[in-house]
A and B are shown apart, each in its own frame.
Chain A
Amino acid sequence: PSKSAALHVDLCKATNSTDALQYLLQFARKPVEAESVEGVVRILLEHYYKETDTSVRLKIASLLGLLSKTQGFRPDCIVDDIINTLCNEKSHQVLAQLLDTLLVVGTELPDSPAVRQRLVQVSCKHLSDTYFGVRNKCLQLLGCVGTVDAPLSKDGDGPGSSPGGCRDVQSIISDYFGDQDPRVRTAALKAMACRLLSDDYEQVRSAAVQMVWVLSQLYPESIVPIPSSNEEIRLVDDAFGKISHMVSDGSWMVRVQAAKTLGSMLQVSPHFLEQTLDKKLMSDLRRKRTAHERAKELFASGEFSSGRKWADDAPKEKLDTNTVNLIASGACGAFVHGLEDEMFEVRIAAVEALCQLARSSPTFAEKCLDFLVDMFNDEIEEVRLQSIHVLRQISTHITLREDQLDTVLAVLEDSSRDIREALHELLCYTNVSTKECIQLALLELLKNLNKYPTDRNSVWKCLKFLGSRHPTLVLPLVPELLSTHPYFDTPEPDMDDPAYIAVLVLVFNAAKSCPTMPALFSDHTFRHYAYLRDSLSHLVPPLRLPGRKQVLGLDPVDSGSASGSVESAQLFLQQSLNRISTIQNLEAPGAQDLLNFTIRDVQRLGHLQTQLSGAADFCATYLRCQLLLMKALQEKLWNMAVPLCLKQNVTATAAARQILEETYKLEFLYGGLENRQIATIHHVRLQAKALQLILSARTRQGLDPLISSCEKFLQEIEAFQRSFLTELPHLHDSFVDKLLELKPRISACSSVELVKILQTTLRQSGLLQLRLPEQIHRATATIIEPTGESDNPLRFTSGLVVALDIDATLEHVQDPQNTVKVQVLYPDGQSHVIHPKPGDFRKPGADRHRLITQVYLSHTAWTEPSQIEVRLLLSYSSASSSLSSSKHLGWSDSSDGLQSPEAVVEGTIPFSKPVKVFIMPKPARR
């Protein structure tokens, strides 16, 4: 009420319209409570009636709309008022705005039929307005409030005033499909659908496509008649046909949209779906077979590699001219057109649509295969890549024929690494039908390996899957592959040859599920197996070989037992953690041992159970922090005079620093943490800081630095309390809990006292139990390239630079573009941190990234070659974390003035094994 009064006063004060407008604008910025809305509305309306200036009326009308949106306010009481004003209003703009307000009201009151009826009447009345904006809004309103099934009893002074007087909303709106203004037409379509798919304006067509789609999704099963004949088809099929037509539209925007839309119409019947790939060929009125069909037939007749003859594609049967349907009605050939489109945007959209449709229909997948394979030859790399990815996604449904495989494999020679790797990925999931296919694939992959040696890992991995997928097809090839001979001993191949390793990877993986295969191996094969099993254990599976010891228990990848034992492992982890919770306080006897053992157990568990390694690692690190803290507190130094225990002091300080580091690792290296875990981590950090404070108080002389660090510590406690307010109940009996109890005291007392309090609380506080979230992933990185095996130094002239190729895979790293850095350590202790370009990161799969980049090295001349270290760093900044945690609590909206008192800590965590590279900067020659 006070607000409305204030507004009233303001508006009365206003002498001219600009002033009034100013007041209204100011008023609009403030929120209004639900109780006072009605009063405000009354006052606004009052002024509205008095006001002569249209802009002010416009503003009032828009305010009314805003106010009706207020939560808890039922706008039905103002409907009548607005409708009244509507009748008296002359200005078209204000009319449109008022209708907009009604639209808001209508959406707020979805369940009141009386109001809706009135709104429909009003909008029908104003449909005959001359201003397009008004008609526009009317149609919107109609579309919004008019229900499809409720016929209108009365249509007021509506446009045609049909004598029957009983027309439904659709027919009213459809009257306006013929409106002279394209903007009105767009609106008419947004309210309903169809027919304008052949409009002159592309926006209209685009909206029409969307509308048809919406309708087809709403009523997929309703039956519609075909105008020309008396057949009837499902609405979704009809819509599918219509949208397919739009794939050959004149405007590429419409084409893109149509192609995209097709992909989401999954309910369409298979008959229609298959037509989209159909394009009947003819030549001089004779039916011709498509190249695809010919390829298939040639393949079937066994003369695949024969060259094509002149007039080989000569038409065979004569067509009846009446049956040829040139502009195919319905869905015919939509995708054939889409995939051949001029704009690559359309092609990509078509490929994506194919993918979506094929995933839901295996028969369609089979059919669209040929077309997708053709797309591998597109001129734009993006399209090629996309079609390879799509083929991979639908590969579960399909088996490649030899000729198709041949085309697919041809792409292996592509010079783009992304394409090749995508293709390897595809081959991993592909099913092939014959042993020739396997041979072909192997041959091409070896060729690829030969041409691009950097693809080694990718090719091996690909062969691993190929082998394990097709053991029976590999079996007859084994003698040939290993070049064994029934009578003669063949020379032993070179074990370091990547091609030979590739063959072995294929054979061994096939042998895993084919027990008869090892009988075909020669002696050296067994030796090589043993070697590879050790050196490339991720590629070579354990085999049951005659006369070999089975070392089952030590195999982490022994998948048979692994899947079942995940739960038990989880249980074990939980139990270990529970056991820790029995430690009452940090000085309890035996606690250290228990922690030590648990850490050992948990770490081992992580090694055995790959799925739990993240969680296990996390626990172990956390427990190690606790252990360190415990040790630091148990030192005898606390009972001795300061000068006597300098050495212990040093170890304790080191422990504190280490704990701090570990907590940063805990916070930033692991993904999937919840707020509770973060609170726990921060708690440990707080303890470490307390420890640091105590130590510095003991060693350093002078009060001033102490006072400032005490203040800092107090601020940190406050920050902790603020950001983890919701978590505080879980931290019962912990260090922070105790401190907060003593808070009135510690904020008043002197710094020396504070240190004493801290010391006691720290020693008395119990161990905070760690609760694990559902899933923890540790961010890891592996540098694939450089391998660090090379003995040849990289020589370059000092003062100049040399580029070092780096290829690494990153797992579970969020936002690697901003966080991952490359560090280069020179033997003289110099280190460089290089920030790779965002474009160097690729995302081959979920939670997986690949970094392919170059770093530039340079140094002054050395006398002899030496090794540098290259590793990846994960950078973090505590600012980002506190921001995200505050977001969790919903603080972000009132963030002004809330500054993180905790100084922003930035740092890096090395998270990959360092790789050594031999380099040799030579002195420049004169």
Chain B
Amino acid sequence: MPEIKVTPLGAGQDVGRSCILVSIGGKNIMLDCGMHMGYNDDRRFPDFSYITQNGRLTEFLDCVIISHFHLDHCGALPYMSEMVGYDGPIYMTHPTKAICPILLEDFRKITVDKKGETNFFTSQMIKDCMKKVIPLNLHQTVQVDDELEIKAYYAGHVLGAAMVHIKVGSESVVYTGDYNMTPDRHLGAAWIDKCRPDILISESTYATTIRDSKRCRERDFLKKVHESIERGGKVLIPVFALGRAQELCILLETFWERMNLKAPIYFSTGLTEKANHYYKLFITWTNQKIRKTFVQRNMFEFKHIKAFDRSYADNPGPMVVFATPGMLHAGQSLQIFKKWAGNEKNMVIMPGYCVQGTIGHKILNGQRKLEMEGRATLDVKLQVEYMSFSAHADAKGIMQLIRMAEPRNMLLVHGEAVKMEFLKGKIEQEFSINCYMPANGETTTVTTNPSVPVDISLNLLKREMALGGPLPDPKKPRTMHGTLIMKENSLKLVSSEQALKELGLNEHQLRFTCRVQLQDPHSDPDTLHRIYTHLKSVLKGYTIQHLPDGTVMVESIVIKVSSSAEDPNTKVLLLSWSYQDEDLGSFLSNLLKKGLPSGLC
């Protein structure tokens, strides 16, 4: 039986360094090539030696597909393609292709220039790697080679995030990457058609969470900011440069517009400016509102949001500042935080998760005195707020996607094992399909039952139709006669005559002959006549002929009578029929073996 094999090299029962190998229909595909943020050693990249111990990966992989630009999905790409060695095609969407190198470069700078690591990929390697990238459009079917085709679907999550449908013959796999089923201020919701893949590989970050209404959170956020501004306070929002930052910017921008507010909003410069530029360009990847209004005004051309300068932090009056990084562990956001921490009018809003040990985590846990470097302590008087703006599908969203795609098997990655276990149970119960959750390096094998397409000649079908019978019903099998020709990887069902003609073969006749001994005291012609009348009475609706040359023909079956040499009363019947009339022939021979009824004249 054909099989599909899925092996996660990363992200198997884990979050980070997503990298999944899929073997389908003899093709090997790598889905995502990410890095792990939690490690600084070899563990940060997927273990490519699983594929091959020595040498380059090119001959083992047919293609690499990157779902979106987050580093845990594309961070190891230059390492794999340039340092390990891969020259095949890499597929990603246009926005991902545009933004991915910026992030990789930024990541490289931090690792190499700041932390001083060696043996890391260089800028040139990033450039070389990006040269191998083939961009994808949404819903565009791309033929990787003759058999393998891939198609991207919208996934929400971040700009340019895509789900991919991979198809070889009639076998297919869908990989979701990260996706979001609830639309936000700048992106739409993930969508897929009912493609019924053999395996749906889904992320499961929020496998055990059902989230609250997004509107509540937004409203809370806006209210907090608004109140603080009205009091004359300053608001600091530490963010990472891409993704959520843009969402929050749009949120505040529209709110400022609506409420006619005047307080300035600043955005710390650098990476973000470049990123914003791409957001402006890839309008088609955003949500309905932005897409529809960009003719009048591109929503990413912010009216109220200006670039931040270090000196602005001391300006009097209210302001809102977005600053990187998001966990207040270093850089500009920390500097501003230190400046503003002393005033209780001010506020800091943490829009995302904070890792333990960072200042962000400390203040979120209510610590009011912070020890800074050099024994100085910092009194935290400003208000600390936490708002979760996360763009992963929650448990309900995952179920919704399954309902949309109707897969035959389900495979969970990118999540914690315990949580996956729960969701797995739910999926199996609700949809009664198999659900797998392989760990890293563990291979899941799914046998498929692919339908083999066969071309059938129109003549044959028409002939079949002419024979009558019920209408073709896709749900019921139906038998018919024909010849299957397998030639050069293609299957054809044609009538036997045509097959002979095509293959240049002579037709051979196969005839069965059979002798039946019969006790009959009459003369030969009489016996023949008796047989004729007998058959005539039994086989109604068949053409039975008594030919003058002393034979009886039933359809194409020939019956001859001759007396045996020893006993004139024992007649020997000679039956001869062709292979096509096998049914009728064997019926006749059985019938005649029973002898003739006595009542015949």
| Set B213, B217, B395, B471: member contacting A159, Cβ < 8 A | B471
Assembly CA distance A326 to B258 (angstroms): 37
A310 touches B364 (CB 8 A): yes
B213 touches A336 (CB 8 A): yes
* Cβ-based interface call for A292 (8 A): yes
Instruction: Indicate whether A285 sits within 8 Å of B208 (C-beta atoms), given known contacts A374-B219, A407-B219, A451-B260.
Output: yes
Set of chain A residues within 8 Å of B216, measured between Cβ atoms: 290-292, 374
| Set A290, A377, A415: member contacting B219, Cβ < 8 A | A377
A310 touches B419 (CB 8 A): no
A326 touches B426 (CB 8 A): yes
* Cβ-based interface call for B304 (8 A): no
B361 CB to nearest A CB, Å = 9
Set of chain A residues within 8 Å of B516, measured between Cβ atoms: none
Set of chain B residues within 8 Å of A720, measured between Cβ atoms: none
B215 touches A339 (CB 8 A): yes
Which of A117-125, A137-145, A340-348, A667-675 is the contact stretch?
A340-348
Set of chain B residues within 8 Å of A429, measured between Cβ atoms: none
Assembly CA distance A128 to B473 (angstroms): 11
Instruction: Indicate whether A340 sits within 8 Å of B214 (C-beta atoms), given known contacts A379-B254, A410-B226.
Output: yes
B185 touches A342 (CB 8 A): no
| Interface 1/0 per residue, A266-307 and B, CB below 8 Å | 000000000000011111110010111000000000000001
Instruction: Indicate whether A178 sits within 8 Å of B386 (C-beta atoms), given known contacts A200-B194, A344-B289, A414-B258.
Output: no
| Interface 1/0 per residue, A393-433 and B, CB below 8 Å | 00000000000000100100111100000000000000000
B510 CB to nearest A CB, Å = 36
* Cβ-based interface call for B374 (8 A): no
Set of chain B residues within 8 Å of A344, measured between Cβ atoms: 288-289
* Cβ-based interface call for A321 (8 A): yes
Set of chain B residues within 8 Å of A341, measured between Cβ atoms: 183, 189
Set of chain B residues within 8 Å of A313, measured between Cβ atoms: 212
Q: Most chain-B CB neighbours within 10 Å: which of A178, A283, A311, A407?
A: A283
Within 8 A of A (CB), among B376-431: 383-386, 395-396, 399-400, 403-404, 419, 422-423, 425-426, 430
* Cβ-based interface call for A71 (8 A): no
B212 touches A327 (CB 8 A): no
Assembly CA distance A174 to B288 (angstroms): 38
Instruction: Indicate whether A284 sits within 8 Å of B471 (C-beta atoms), given known contacts A308-B386, A342-B189.
Output: no
B422 touches A285 (CB 8 A): yes
| Set A280, A291, A371, A410: member contacting B210, Cβ < 8 A | A280
* Cβ-based interface call for B257 (8 A): yes
B229 CB to nearest A CB, Å = 12
| Interface 1/0 per residue, A117-156 and B, CB below 8 Å | 0000000000010100000000000000000000000000
Q: Which residue of A lies closest to B192 (CB)?
A: A250
| Interface 1/0 per residue, A361-399 and B, CB below 8 Å | 000000000010011011110000000000000000000
| Set B182, B188, B194, B215: member contacting A250, Cβ < 8 A | B194
Q: Which residue of B lies closest to A319 (CB)?
A: B208
B430 touches A250 (CB 8 A): no
Instruction: Indicate whether A377 sits within 8 Å of B218 (C-beta atoms), given known contacts A284-B419, A327-B396, A342-B288.
Output: yes
A310 touches B384 (CB 8 A): yes
* Cβ-based interface call for B273 (8 A): no
B467 CB to nearest A CB, Å = 14
Set of chain B residues within 8 Å of A200, measured between Cβ atoms: 194
A250 touches B193 (CB 8 A): yes
Assembly CA distance A379 to B403 (angstroms): 28
* Cβ-based interface call for B127 (8 A): no
Set of chain B residues within 8 Å of A798, measured between Cβ atoms: none
Assembly CA distance A410 to B261 (angstroms): 13
B192 touches A343 (CB 8 A): no
* Cβ-based interface call for A324 (8 A): yes
Within 8 A of A (CB), among B440-488: 465, 470-475
A454 CB to nearest B CB, Å = 13
A411 CB to nearest B CB, Å = 9
A413 touches B260 (CB 8 A): yes
Assembly CA distance A130 to B224 (angstroms): 66
Instruction: Indicate whether A290 sits within 8 Å of B212 (C-beta atoms), given known contacts A327-B396, A416-B258.
Output: yes
Set of chain A residues within 8 Å of B189, measured between Cβ atoms: 341-342
* Cβ-based interface call for A309 (8 A): yes
Q: Most chain-A CB neighbours within 10 Å: which of B185, B288, B425, B474?
A: B288
Q: Most chain-B CB neighbours within 10 Å: which of A160, A292, A377, A380?
A: A377
A180 touches B474 (CB 8 A): yes
| Interface 1/0 per residue, A487-510 and B, CB below 8 Å | 000000000000000000000000
| Interface 1/0 per residue, B153-197 and A, CB below 8 Å | 000000000000000000000000000001101001101111000
Q: Which residue of B lies closest to A201 (CB)?
A: B194
B385 touches A307 (CB 8 A): yes
Q: Which residue of A lies closest to B214 (CB)?
A: A340
Assembly CA distance A341 to B288 (angstroms): 11
B352 CB to nearest A CB, Å = 12
* Cβ-based interface call for B565 (8 A): no
* Cβ-based interface call for B117 (8 A): no
* Cβ-based interface call for A248 (8 A): yes
A324 touches B213 (CB 8 A): no
Assembly CA distance A279 to B288 (angstroms): 25
B385 touches A308 (CB 8 A): yes
Set of chain A residues within 8 Å of B209, measured between Cβ atoms: 281-284
| Interface 1/0 per residue, B204-236 and A, CB below 8 Å | 000011111111111110111010000000000
B419 touches A130 (CB 8 A): no
* Cβ-based interface call for B562 (8 A): no
* Cβ-based interface call for B287 (8 A): yes
Q: Which residue of B lies closest to A336 (CB)?
A: B213
A340 touches B471 (CB 8 A): no
A377 touches B222 (CB 8 A): yes
B471 CB to nearest A CB, Å = 6
Instruction: Indicate whether A340 sits within 8 Å of B213 (C-beta atoms), given known contacts A326-B395, A327-B430.
Output: yes
A291 touches B288 (CB 8 A): no
* Cβ-based interface call for B538 (8 A): no
Q: Which residue of A lies closest to B195 (CB)?
A: A200
Set of chain A residues within 8 Å of B182, measured between Cβ atoms: 340
Assembly CA distance A640 to B379 (angstroms): 108
Instruction: Indicate whether A415 sits within 8 Å of B259 (C-beta atoms), given known contacts A180-B474, A250-B404, A291-B212.
Output: yes
Set of chain B residues within 8 Å of A333, measured between Cβ atoms: 396
A308 touches B220 (CB 8 A): yes
Q: Which residue of B lies closest to A160 (CB)?
A: B470
A227 CB to nearest B CB, Å = 14
B213 touches A178 (CB 8 A): no
Set of chain A residues within 8 Å of B188, measured between Cβ atoms: 342
Instruction: Indicate whether A128 sits within 8 Å of B470 (C-beta atoms), given known contacts A282-B208, A308-B385, A326-B396.
Output: yes
Set of chain B residues within 8 Å of A324, measured between Cβ atoms: 426
Assembly CA distance A128 to B287 (angstroms): 47
* Cβ-based interface call for B365 (8 A): yes
Set of chain B residues within 8 Å of A415, measured between Cβ atoms: 257-260
B225 CB to nearest A CB, Å = 12
* Cβ-based interface call for B548 (8 A): no
Q: Which residue of A lies closest to B406 (CB)?
A: A198
Q: Which residue of A lies closest to B287 (CB)?
A: A342
Q: Most chain-A CB neighbours within 10 Å: which of B209, B224, B384, B465?
A: B209
| Interface 1/0 per residue, A845-868 and B, CB below 8 Å | 000000000000000000000000
Assembly CA distance A333 to B210 (angstroms): 11
Assembly CA distance A65 to B55 (angstroms): 78
* Cβ-based interface call for B366 (8 A): yes
| Set B258, B399, B474: member contacting A178, Cβ < 8 A | B474
Instruction: Indicate whether A380 sits within 8 Å of B470 (C-beta atoms), given known contacts A290-B213, A416-B258.
Output: no
B191 touches A250 (CB 8 A): yes
| Set B183, B213, B257: member contacting A374, Cβ < 8 A | B213
Closest 4 CB pairs of A and B: A310-B364, A342-B183, A291-B216, A374-B215
Contacts beyond the supplied A250-B192, A284-B419, A341-B189: 4 A-B pairs with Cβ under 8 Å: A291-B216, A339-B215, A374-B216, A413-B259
**Sampled A-B contacts (7; CB under 8 Å):** A280-B210, A281-B210, A282-B395, A285-B208, A310-B350, A310-B365, A374-B216
